[in-house]
Amino acid sequence: MKLHSTQKRRKSELKGTLSQLLSRATMETEKTQTAAVQTDDRDLSEQIKKATKESHTRAENTEMMLSFQRGQVTLAQYKLLLCSLYEIYQALEEALDRNSNHPAVAPIYFPTELARLKAIEKDLEFFYGRDWREKIVVPDATKRYSHRLRQIGEENPQFLVAHAYTRYLGDLSGGQVLGRIAQKSMGLKNGDGLSFFAFPGVSSPNLFKQLYRSRMNSVELTEQERNDVLQEAVQAFEFNIQVFDGLQKMLSVAEKQQQDYSPNSKSVSARSIQLPQPNFSLVRKVLGLVVALVTISMGIYVVATPNTSYQRPTV
């Protein structure tokens, strides 16, 4: 009996010890998870992701981006998009190159892996020919976006972090998928005209994005500078939305003009020159007057003109 009670007591103590250990382990796990969440919340990349969530969704639902997602992107859409991307990346990469040694820019400066300008130039030459620079057309929204990039490159280089993150990681994340969609939709072969979507300097997009976010999170900013960068990231998405909408409006106007000037369009027929219907009553009156005048004139002429063929008979 005494042995049985001793064993029972030891089992009870063991259960208590195990319960305490499990409780401590649970608490430690919760602390670790909480610390991890807090670390993520302080990461600049996570903060930008949260701050731009709504704008990101709106950008994805613009008519132009939906055309890509549905596999219905047209050649006209893509060519105009390339023109705007050229202007945007020219401004962005010039600003990044100029500020490559800035403490906020240096950690996220990857020209070999990410630079897009040369690739876009190659695509534009494929579609427009060697004189493609003379054929570039962009909406006002693209000009405003490019102006903003040049402005912050001179006045607030730390804001370039927001724009580089928005553009490069967005293109790197969706580039492969969108490239395949564009190729299929437009019937392009051998990658011609699709250099923009190719990142030959990045062997693993997922690993590179992790590296980029890590570098981005290492940028030292004051609290005010961090808040300003977050606001700039939201503004970057707004610029992109305005560009997409501006491009779609340009396409709509071009399509309408093409319909208006098409010889088979109803609008041209409606604007065709309408000849006035003749007033037959007035015509009859005028003709009658003309005939009368001609008749009177002929009568006067006959009376007034001697008959030279008449010979007086000899007596």
Backbone torsions φ then ψ of 110, nearest 5 degrees = -130, 70
Cα separation of 248 and 1, whole Å?
A: 90
Distances from the Cα of 126 to the Cαs of 50, 89, 120, 121, 291, in angstroms?
Answer: 38, 18, 10, 9, 73
Helix (H, G, I), strand (E, B) or coil at 65: helix
Apex 137 CA angle, 86 and 189, nearest 5: 60
CB 221 within 8 A of CB 44: yes
Question: What Cα–Cα distance (Å) separates residue 136 from each residue in 125, 196, 254?
Answer: 11, 16, 15
Residues annotated as binding site for heme b? 49, 56, 165, 213
* Cα–Cα distance measured from residue 296 to residue 276, given in angstroms and rounded to the nearest whole number: 33
Q: Do 157 and 99 touch, CB atoms closer than 8 A?
A: yes
Q: What is the DSSP string of 264-304?
A: T-HHHHHTS--PPPP-HHHHHHHHHHHHHHHHHHHHHHHHH
Judge whether 197 and 175 are in contact, CB under 8 Å: yes
Q: Which residues are annotated as a binding site?
A: 49, 56, 165, 213
Question: Any residues with CB less than 8 A from the CB of 193 and at least 6 apart, and which?
Answer: 78, 123, 126, 127, 186
C-alpha 241/C-alpha 238 separation (Å) is 5
* CA dihedral of 294, 297, 303, 308, whole degrees rounded to 10: -80
